[in-house]
Amino acid sequence: MGKWTETDIPGQHGRVAVVTGANTGIGFETAKALATRGASVVLACRNPDKARAAAERIGGTTEVVRLDLASLDSVREAAEEIRDRHRRVDLLVNNAGVTGLSGRTEDGFEIQFGVNHLGHFALTGRLLDLLLATPGSRVVTVSSIGHRFGRIDPADPQSGGGAYARSKLANLLFTQALHRRLSGTDTISVAAHPGGASTEVFRYSSPFFRVPNLVIARLFGRTPAMGALPTLRAATDPGVKGGDYFGPAGLFEIGGFPDLVTASSRAHDVQLQQRLWAVSEELTNVAYPKPARHS
């Protein structure tokens, strides 16, 4: 296949997609492209006003659910609301993320690990039976090139420097661990990263970090819409397999159109995946249902 673009997204009529952090940036572009192709899209966002404004700009069939990933209570309530409204979930896009932010979540977790990983871990667990009941469903988790710098001590996954890189490594460890759990079912777990994109993602970062990153994103033509393409391919390309990881195929995986990319060897460390999974279940108090396998 040549350049994969939005025009390659198959029709999404009859499908329900949940996109976290859909009010702006890559999440907004992901939600917009899915709604344009006919999906019914749930914008799962922490600020309902921003989300409603985004829904108006998107058009199509959209709805808003309040989701603050920095609160396990909010994650539970959001999942309950989605379950009340929908009998199926075809696509869960774990997109929302923060970087350059310090502090704690409502439940006392380091904020980047809490929002980027634990919040999504809990949300996915609480929606998994709906996903499993929906033929051909997918969980897409958005990571970053930065995962390569991540280190995780499973005994204490919230400590040490490099919080963002650690959370993005956690996204990939989660993707692979979930992929294994889903083996033999009709649901797949995949990942994507945008390369770079000129979004609001560096809003909490110092200018020293923010400015060069935005300059690089602009030089490589990384609009939010370009940044969303790897997610959209992971979410909709019929050829995608469980465990796949998509990113821009160009120089340094920053620019270009989406294709399969390789995660760091650490992201494929099965023991680390299993230990992070156990710690995440313990911290979130979310126990995943055991999937019934096809014979």
Q: Is 180 in the site for ligand NAP (CB under 6 A)?
A: no
* Total of chain residues touching ligand NAP, rule CB under 6 A: 31
Across 7-148, where does the E strand assignment appear?
A: 16-20, 40-45, 61-66, 91-94, 138-142
Residues 21, 27, 30, 33: is their CA dihedral positive or negative? positive
Q: What is the dihedral of CA 64, 70, 73, 75, to 10 degrees?
A: 40
Q: Choose the binding region for ligand NAP from 4-12, 45-53, 147-155, 267-275 (rule: CB under 6 A).
A: 45-53
Instruction: Please report, as a single letter, which amino acid is at residue 248.
Output: P
Site for ligand NAP in 65-104 (CB under 6 A): 67-70, 95-98
Q: Render the burial of 2-18: b for 16+ CB within 10 Å, e for the rest.
A: eebebebbeebeebbbb
- Shortest reach from residue 169's CB to ligand NAP, in Å: 12
Residue 127 vs residues 11, 84, 112, 226: alpha-carbon distances, Å = 23, 11, 22, 28
Among 49, 106, 200, 282, binds ligand NAP (CB under 6 A): 200
Binding piece for ligand NAP, criterion CB under 6 A, among 10-18, 32-40, 148-156, 190-198: 190-198
Give me the residue whose beta carbon is nearest to ligand NAP.
25
Comparing C-alpha atoms, which of 7, 55, 4, 8 is closest to residue 27?
A: 55
Regarding 131 and contact with ligand NAP (CB under 6 A), the answer is: no
Residue 23 is a binding residue for ligand NAP (CB under 6 A):
yes
Check binding of 24 to ligand NAP (CB under 6 A).
Answer: yes
204 catalytic, yes or no?
no
In terms of Cα–Cα distance, which of 264, 267, 256, 261 is closest to 240? 261
Site residues, ligand NAP (CB under 6 A)? 20-21, 23-27, 45-47, 50, 67-70, 95-98, 115, 142, 144, 193-194, 196-197, 199-201, 217, 227
Catalytic residues: 164
